[in-house]
C-alpha cells in the first residue's frame, strides 16, 4: 500500500449513482417540525447498507422519531451485486425524502463518503442499518446540534444494546453490548459537514465496519475540531450470528495494524478504544509454533513444555469467554473451538496488515 489513500473521485460508482426516479425533498410535502425545534440546524441522514432486513426497521424507527426530521435520508446501497429492491417504503412519512446511491461493495467507509459528499445540509448524521432510533431521537438531536459550539466537529449519540433478561449474554452478545461504551461509533454519529470536508471524510482503506470511525475521529481532533457526546439515544439490537462470527472478526487485526501505522501505537488511548488480546494471542501462537518445531527436531522435553504453555494459554482464553456466558452446551462448544482458532488467525491478520499497510499515511498526509 502506498501513501495515497484509496479515495474515490466522485460520490459513488457508476455514471448515475442516484436513482433517477426518486422524488427529491423539495417535491414532497413537508414533514412538520415541532415548534420547539423549528430553528434547529438542518441535517441529512446517511445510512450505508448491504441490504440486510434490518434496514426496514431502521427506516421505520427514523420515520417514527418526531420533532425535527431530516432534510433528506441518503441510503447508500453497497451490495456488490444488488438483487431485489431495498425496503424504502418502510420510511413512511419520510419516503419522499429518501434517495439512494450505489457504491458496488466498496465497504462502509466508501459508502458513507458517497453519501455525505452529496448532501447540502450543515450537519450529516450517520446511522448504521441495524440501529433503531428512539421516538424522541430527532428532538434530542436538535438539542445536541443547537448546543454545538463553533469548533464542535461531531456529536455522538448514546447507544443501548438490549440483552436477554432470562439468561447471561453470549460471547457475541457481550461483544455487541460493548458498543454502549464505544467512542465516536458511526452507528449514530453526527458530523458537521464542513468538518468532513476539512479532513477528507472516511479513509476507504478500512473496508470493514471496524476502526474507520476511530480513524476519522482522530483526524478530526488533530485538525482542531472537538467531539462530544450528545443526549439522544439509539437502540442497537444484537444481530443474528453463527458460532464462527468471532473467528471472522479477527480480520479486524489488520485494521489495527493500519491504525498503528497511521496514528502511532498510542492511538488506543487517544481514540478511547479498549485494548484487545493480541499480545496474549502472539504468545499462545508462538508456543504452538515452538511445540511443533521442537517435536519435529526431536526435542521432546522442549516440545512438551511449549505444548503445555499453549494448552494453558488456550484454556485461559476459553474460560475467560465461557465464565460470563450462559454456559450452555452449544455455547461452551463454540467457545472451545473458536478459542483454538482465534489466536493464530489474529496474529496472521495482524502480520498481513502490517505488510500491506507498511507505507500508509493518513488521509491528507502525516498528522
Rounded distance between C-alpha atoms, residue 79 and residue 104, angstroms: 6
Of the listed ranges 32-36, 162-166, 351-355, the one predicted with least confidence: 32-36
pLDDT over threshold 60, residue 20: no
Provide the 3-class DSSP secondary structure of residue 240: coil
Q: Measured between alpha carbons, how far is 306 from 355 in angstroms, rounded to an integer?
A: 28
- The reported pLDDT for the residue numbered 21 is 36
Cα 333 → chain centroid: 28
For the stretch 240-282, pLDDT in tens is 999 999 999 999 999 999 999 999 999 999 999 998 899 999 9
Cell numbers 501505537: residue:
265
DSSP state at residue 31: P
**What pLDDT does residue 121 have?**
97
pTM of the model: 0.87
> Domain-by-domain residue ranges, the chain?
25-241, 242-367
User: Dihedral (C-alpha) 294, 295, 300, 301: value to the nearest 10 degrees?
Assistant: 40
Q: DSSP strand E in the chain: where?
A: 43-49, 72-77, 98-102, 123-127, 132-133, 152-160, 188-192, 226-235
189 closest CA partner among 107, 109, 266: 109
Asked if 31 and 111 count as a contact pair (C-beta separation under 8 A), the reply is: no
Q: Which fold has domain 25-241?
A: Spore Coat Polysaccharide Biosynthesis Protein SpsA; Chain A (3.90.550)
* pLDDT at position 258: 97
pLDDT digits (tens, 9 = 90+) for 72-83: 999 999 999 988
Q: How far is CA 156 from the centre of its chain?
A: 13
Return the C-alpha cell found at 259: 491504525
Amino acid at each position: 500500500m502506498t501513501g495515497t489513500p484509496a479515495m474515490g473521485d466522485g460520490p459513488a460508482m457508476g455514471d448515475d449513482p442516484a436513482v433517477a426516479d426518486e422524488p427529491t425533498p423539495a417535491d414532497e410535502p413537508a414533514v412538520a417540525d415541532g415548534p420547539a425545534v423549528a430553528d434547529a440546524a438542518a441535517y441529512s441522514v446517511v445510512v450505508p447498507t448491504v441490504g440486510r432486513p434490518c434496514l426496514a426497521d431502521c427506516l421505520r424507527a427514523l420515520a417514527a422519531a418526531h420533532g425535527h426530521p431530516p432534510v433528506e435520508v441518503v441510503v447508500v446501497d453497497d451490495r456488490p451485486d444488488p438483487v431485489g429492491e431495498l425496503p424504502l417504503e418502510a420510511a413512511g412519512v419520510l419516503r419522499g425524502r429518501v434517495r439512494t446511491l450505489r457504491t458496488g461493495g466498496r465497504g462502509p467507509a466508501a459508502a458513507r463518503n458517497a453519501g455525505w459528499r452529496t448532501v447540502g445540509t450543515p450537519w450529516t448524521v450517520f446511522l448504521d442499518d441495524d440501529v433503531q432510533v428512539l421516538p424522541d431521537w430527532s428532538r434530542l438531536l436538535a438539542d445536541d446540534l443547537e448546543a454545538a459550539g463553533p469548533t464542535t466537529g461531531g456529536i455522538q449519540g448514546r447507544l443501548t444494546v438490549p440483552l436477554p433478561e432470562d439468561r447471561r449474554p453470549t460471547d457475541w452478545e457481550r461483544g455487541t453490548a460493548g458498543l454502549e461504551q464505544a467512542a465516536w461509533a458511526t452507528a449514530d454519529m453526527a458530523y458537521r459537514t464542513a468538518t468532513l470536508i476539512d479532513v477528507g471524510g472516511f479513509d476507504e482503506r478500512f473496508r470493514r465496519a471496524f476502526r474507520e470511525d476511530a480513524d476519522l475521529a482522530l483526524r478530526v481532533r488533530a485538525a482542531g475540531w472537538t467531539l462530544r457526546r450528545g443526549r439522544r439515544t439509539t437502540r442497537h439490537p444484537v444481530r443474528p450470528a453463527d458460532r464462527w462470527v468471532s473467528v471472522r472478526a479477527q480480520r479486524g487485526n489488520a485494521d489495527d495494524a493500519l491504525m498503528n501505522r497511521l496514528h502511532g501505537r498510542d492511538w488506543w488511548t487517544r481514540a478511547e478504544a479498549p485494548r484487545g488480546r493480541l499480545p496474549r494471542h502472539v504468545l499462545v501462537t508462538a508456543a504452538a509454533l515452538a511445540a511443533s518445531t521442537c517435536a519435529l527436531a526431536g526435542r521432546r522435553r522442549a516440545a512438551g513444555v511449549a505444548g503445555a504453555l499453549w494448552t494453558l494459554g488456550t484454556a485461559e482464553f476459553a474460560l475467560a469467554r465461557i465464565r460470563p456466558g450462559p454456559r450452555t452446551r452449544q455455547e461452551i462448544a463454540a467457545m472451545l473451538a473458536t478459542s483454538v482458532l482465534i489466536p493464530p488467525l489474529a496474529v496472521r491478520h495482524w502480520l498481513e496488515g502490517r505488510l500491506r499497510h507498511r507505507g500508509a499515511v493518513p488521509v491528507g498526509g502525516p498528522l
